[in-house]
Structure formats: structure tokens, C-alpha cells
Amino acid sequence: MDTLLKVDHVSKRFGALIVVDQLSFSVAPGEALGIIGPNGAGKSTIFNLITGDLSADAGNIILNGAEVSRLSPHTRCHAGIGRTYQIPHPFAKMTVFENLLVGATFSSRHREADIYDHSVRVLQATGLLAMANAQAGSLTLLQRKRLELARALATGPQLLLLDEIAGGLTEPECQELLETIRRVNASGVAIVWIEHIVHALVSFASRIMVVNAGRKLDDDIPARVLANPAVKEVYLGLPAS
């Protein structure tokens, strides 16, 4: 199997606290990987290490066979890594369409002549086309979540990192967003999704990785992961049998 992303024995500490501890995993092109773990397990830190928002203390991060561990966040974005954040922070006084143009213009993956059309396609794919001229600051929570996803897609990623993008949504809103994410994945974009709404991940991901105290506890198909007694104990709070 080809490898799009390889995280190889990566570690990160803050003073005496080890947040990510010799973590290794890989993502194939077009794969759908879910990550779960208790609060404080190091999940968002893993994303920050992949995107370059934080520098690893040890280990290597490899994208498409090239070492990116020492590259800046914007260079990694140009190389094909996109992400969303738990709390959307759009350019509130810009329109939805202008928010996308910023991401599409920033990315080196699109020719200047294609930026407008690409942004329109992303708006269509994320269900925001009717809101194109609305101010981003006026959007509902679901619409802001969609815009957060759209802004990441505007950069043209091969690998998309979703950080609790379904948080705060009602069940119907979560299902609506999930269908959009499925379509994005079906278009060939590999997705790594951190989420506390486990049933959403189970219905989406082909593989789930469990992280605890910065270490990989399990990594397998969803049914096997959720049947693991150690996962039940650490993540679900159930006694190990």
C-alpha cells in the first residue's frame, strides 16, 4: 500500500510533561482514519506536529516520501496538508466566498486563473454556495463548521486533518456534515479525523487509532478497536474484563 503520510517515532514534551511519546502511524492516499482518546491524550498536539504549528522534539514526519519535519506550516500547506480547528475562526467581516479566495490564493496548488472556479466548486461541495455573499460572522454554527471545512479544502489538500469538527452540532446537523465529509473523502482526499462523537467516526472511518498519554493504544478496524478491553477502560470508562 502506498503511503501519503508517515509519522515515525515522533515525540513532544512541554517541560517535564511528555505529550506525544514515540508515536508512529501512517495514512494511505484517500484513506479515512479516525483518532479517539481521552481529553489530554495528545490528539490535537499530534495535528499541530503534522502541520508544523509545533516542532517535534524527536522523530520524523514524511509526506509523499519527503521529510517535512523542519518545514514551516505554510510550506506544509503548499505541500498538501490542510486542517480545521476545533473553534472556527473565519475572517468574520469578509464574505464566505472571500474567505475561500484567501485559502485558494494562498495555496500554490492552483493557477491564478483557476482560483475563482476552484472556490466555487468548494462552495458547492460544502453546501455553502447559497451563502457565498453572506458575511462569515453572521453564520450559524453548522454553517461556520462548513466554512471551516471549505477554507481548508480551498487550499487543495491531499491530506485533510479534522479536529472535532462535529463538536456542538445537533444529531441531524452532525449527519449532514458527515455526508459532506464522506463526499470529500470519496473525491480522493485522505482524511484524519479527531472526534469525541464516536458513532460518527465508526460510520465513516475505515480504521481507528486510539491514543492515550501520547502513545498509541490500538489501531485497527472500528469494530475491533471498540471491542478492545483496554480501549473500553481508558476511553469509555468501562472496567476491563
The rounded Cα 160 to chain-centroid distance in angstroms is 5
| 150-170 confidence digits (pLDDT tens) | 999 999 999 999 999 999 999
What does the pLDDT look like over 22-81, one tens digit per residue? 999 999 999 999 999 998 889 999 999 999 999 999 999 999 999 999 999 999 999 999
Q: Would you state the pLDDT for residue 178?
A: 95
Indicate if the pLDDT at residue 108 is higher than 60.
no
Sign of the alpha-carbon torsion through 205, 210, 211, 212 = positive
> Contact at 8 Å (CB) between 70 and 64?
no
Cell numbers at 72, concatenated = 514551516
- In three-state secondary structure terms, 155 is coil
Domains of the chain: 1-79+159-167+190-241 (3.40.50.300), 86-157 (no CATH)
User: What CA–CA distance (Å, rounded) separates 158 from 133?
Assistant: 28
Confidence of residue 104 (pLDDT cuts 50, 70, 90): confident
- Average pLDDT of the residues in 218-223: 96
Q: Is 54 helix (H, G, I), strand (E, B) or coil?
A: coil
No. of helices (H) and no. of strands (E), the chain: 9, 10
CB 193 within 8 A of CB 222: no
- DSSP-derived secondary structure letter, 240: P
> Do 193 and 204 touch, CB atoms closer than 8 A?
yes
User: What pairs with residue 27 in β-bridges?
Assistant: 5
Q: Is 127:159 a contact under the CB 8 Å cutoff? A: no
pTM as predicted: 0.93
